[in-house]
Amino acid sequence: MRGCPLHAPPTRPYMIPGRRERVSLRALLDVVEPSHILFGSDYPFAVPNVEQVLMETIEGISNFEGFDAAQRCKVERENALALFPRLAVS
């Protein structure tokens, strides 16, 4: 980002990588706030073993010690609803 100070926070959302790798999640938290992280998948158009990868990703988010319960809820659902409020159930 030319001309941006190094401490300027990114403003776009980031989708969690499609595996349960703590290193990836930890690295992501080094550059963005949890409010900018979304759970997402390419289901059903991903790798051949998409169901296994999806379950591993969900397990990885659930077990990741870098999120507290409120942050985990935001990553799993609330951050996406903030971007797409019409999808929220009333």
Predicted TM-score (pTM) of this structure: 0.69
**63-84 pLDDT, tens digit each:** 889 999 999 999 989 998 988 8
Q: Where are the domains of the chain?
A: 14-82
Which of 67 and 3 is assigned the larger pLDDT?
67
> SS3 of 49, please?
coil
Of the candidates 32, 28, 33, 13, the residue with the CA atom closest to the CA atom of residue 83: 13
Check: CB of residue 37 under 8 Å from CB of residue 22.
no
**13-39 pLDDT, tens digit each:** 666 655 556 678 888 888 888 888 888
Give the count of alpha carbons within 13 A of 59, CB side only. Answer: 9
**35-60 pLDDT, tens digit each:** 888 887 777 776 778 788 888 888 88
Provide the pLDDT for residue 29: 87
Look-up of token digits 């659930």: 62
Give the count of alpha carbons within 13 A of 74, CB side only. Answer: 14
